[in-house]
Amino acid sequence: MSPEVIGRKLDSLFEILKDLKPHAVADRHSQRQKHYEIERLLQLAVDLSIAIGRRVLLLKKIDSPDSARDVFITMGANRIISKKLAAGLADAVGLRNILVHEYQKIDEDILFGGLKNGFQNFRMFAKKMETFV
């Protein structure tokens, strides 16, 4: 898998994060008004991060797991990212699944309460993945 593909996906992830940043620091009222935009940006950030993670695992010749959540757990277990970051990103996959598949009603306190930390996790991940380009 070519590093150029990772680079293109990282460029997209950085663009998504640029759009997500103001929402991460906004007040709760502003976040509620833009919740559909925030949900979509989170979905895109998770999906791009999964795709980047799978490609990095291929580059490192590590078998990519079947589940999206386990992509990050595998990266943590192989010291590509920290285990703490891996756990945070794995949790983001669970949130993405709830958003996309509507398994349950979204708890806004959880969604917006974790937005700033989630944003920081995606930024750390993206910065770390730049080493593979």
Cα 26 → chain centroid: 19
Of 102 and 77, which is predicted with more confidence? 77
Weakest mean pLDDT among 16-25, 47-56, 95-104: 95-104
Q: Domains in the chain, start-ordered, CATH in brackets?
A: 3-132 (1.20.120.580)
pLDDT-derived band at 38, boundaries 50, 70, 90: very high
Report the pLDDT averaged over residues 45-64: 96
Whole-prediction pTM value?
A: 0.91
Q: How far is CA 4 from CA 1, 8, 56, 71, 106, in A?
A: 9, 6, 12, 20, 36
pLDDT at 67: 95
User: For the segment 75-85, what is each residue's pLDDT rounded down to a tens digit?
Assistant: 999 999 999 99
The answer to whether 49 and 89 have CB atoms below 8 angstroms apart is yes
